[in-house]
């Protein structure tokens, strides 16, 4: 297996799930560091250079709200899902379950043929 190809495809596959994971995790309030840590603890590693621009993009799309607040003697930016974000997340979760089921059927079908 070509490892470069595999890595690039794996990255592409994971990238599609990141938005869903971030939105789902932000049902409760987090700042960047704790969000990243919680995602990593649940098996969804994401590097800082990807997470922070993604948060900003989701906020500019109206899916997140944010506020600067002091914690541990330092100003931190806290993110939370907006009302629109909640509705989008709901739709995305349904879509995700459908994709999952479809892929399961396809992969299962292939296995039975093999």
Of 32, 96, 22, nearest to 63 (Cα)?
Answer: 22
Phi-psi region of 94 (alpha: psi -120 to 50; beta: other; left: phi over 0): alpha
Q: Which is nearer to another protein, 71 or 84 (CB)?
A: 71
Q: Which is nearer to another protein, 53 or 109 (CB)?
A: 53
Q: How far is the CB of 76 from another protein (least distance, A)?
A: 5
Find the shortest distance in angstroms from Cβ 57 to another protein: 7
Residues that bind another protein (CB under 8 A): 31-33, 47-50, 52-53, 56-57, 68, 74-77
8 A C-beta contact, residue 62 and residue 84? yes
Nearer to another protein, 57 or 105 (CB): 57
Cα 52-88-28 angle, rounded to 5 deg: 55
CB of 107 to another protein, least distance (A): 32
């Amino acid at each position: 297996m070509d490892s470069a190809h595999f890595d690039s495809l794996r990255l592409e596959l994971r990238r599609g799930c990141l938005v869903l994971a971030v939105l789902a995790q932000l049902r409760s309030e987090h700042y960047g560091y704790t969000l990243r840590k919680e995602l990593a603890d649940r098996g969804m590693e994401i590097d800082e250079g990807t997470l922070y621009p993604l948060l900003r993009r989701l906020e500019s799309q109206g899916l997140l709200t944010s506020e600067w607040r002091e914690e541990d003697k330092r100003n931190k930016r806290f993110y939370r899902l907006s009302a629109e974000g909640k509705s989008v997340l709901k739709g995305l979760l349904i879509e995700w379950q459908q994709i999952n089921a479809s892929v399961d059927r396809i992969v299962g079908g292939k296995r039975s043929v093999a």
